Amino acid sequence: MLKVRVIPTLLWKSHGLVKGVRFDSWRRVGTILPAVKVYNARDVDELIVLDITANQEGRTAEEQWVRSYSPFCFVPLTVGGGITQADQIAGLLRAGADKVSIGTATHGNPALIDEAARRFGSQCLVVSVDVTRGGGEIALVSRSGKERLGSKVIEWTREIVGRGAGEILLNSIDRDGTMEGYDLDLISSVANAVDVPVIASGGAGNYQHMIEAIDAGASAVAAASIFHFTEQTPAEARKALALAGIPVRQNLAAAEG
């Protein structure tokens, strides 16, 4: 069985890091390079960096900023935000990203997934799927939660996998930043519908929430607020998962000690 990953998420806005609630009410939490260095020291499994205003500003995640911090990132790095063309993916990979996350553009141009998978391989292609239960009906959304697209969540996840998505970053907008737990029903329904790793995102407030997400079918758990605003850490999260019988990557130094 593949090892379960614990992945801190860094949200980039106007050259600084922020944290919000339900994709809104952004609060500044620092700058990116110190955060990358801290997470390296904490031996995280991976990092996700998302430029949350790129779509609104009609640009892609800026390559020069990726170049500024990627040399200091010694774990797999996923970068996303505003990507609309395969050439932009190529630029971010050259700048130091190991994977790219695409989302909004795939709804208007799903063939972008096909082209990206063909040119760069599915292993570096993470497709972000944003979901809300607002209004009483589960629905896909895009443009950082601003545009409601309809209720065909499972159909969409199957389509993007069929087109070449290597992983799904499954974001619950309703749980984002609340620290009240992941949307377990959503995770279960998507994980049972596809055969690629599902990264659960939105709602982690403690290690038990992460265990529940893995039990629901997630292959990895992404989190932000729990690491920014509490004393809980990725290393302790892995320990909690291991104690629950979930396979995780062990810290080599700790294992040898």
Q: What is the arithmetic mean of pLDDT over 225-251?
A: 90
Task: Tell me how far CA of residue 239 lies from CA of 6, 48, 235, 236, 250, in angstroms.
Answer: 11, 21, 6, 5, 9
Beta bridge pairs of residue 131? 140, 172
Q: What is the pLDDT of the chain when averaged over all its residues? A: 88
Query: What Rg, from alpha-carbon coordinates, does the chain have?
Result: 17
pTM tops 0.85: yes
CATH 1.10.287.990 for the 5-249 domain, yes or no: no
Extended strands (E) in the chain: 5-13, 16-21, 24-30, 47-51, 77-80, 99-102, 125-132, 139-142, 147-150, 167-172, 198-201, 220-223
SS3 category, 200 = strand
Domain ranges of the chain: 5-249
Q: What is the pLDDT of residue 43?
A: 80
Better-predicted residue by pLDDT, 66 or 15: 66
79-96 pLDDT, tens digit per residue, is: 998 899 999 999 999 999
- Candidates 48, 74, 6; CA nearest to 235 is 6
SS3 category, 23 = coil
- The proportion of the chain whose per-residue pLDDT surpasses 90, expressed as a percent, equals 63
**From CA 139, how far away is CA 16, in angstroms rounded?**
30
Q: What is the pLDDT of residue 176?
A: 86
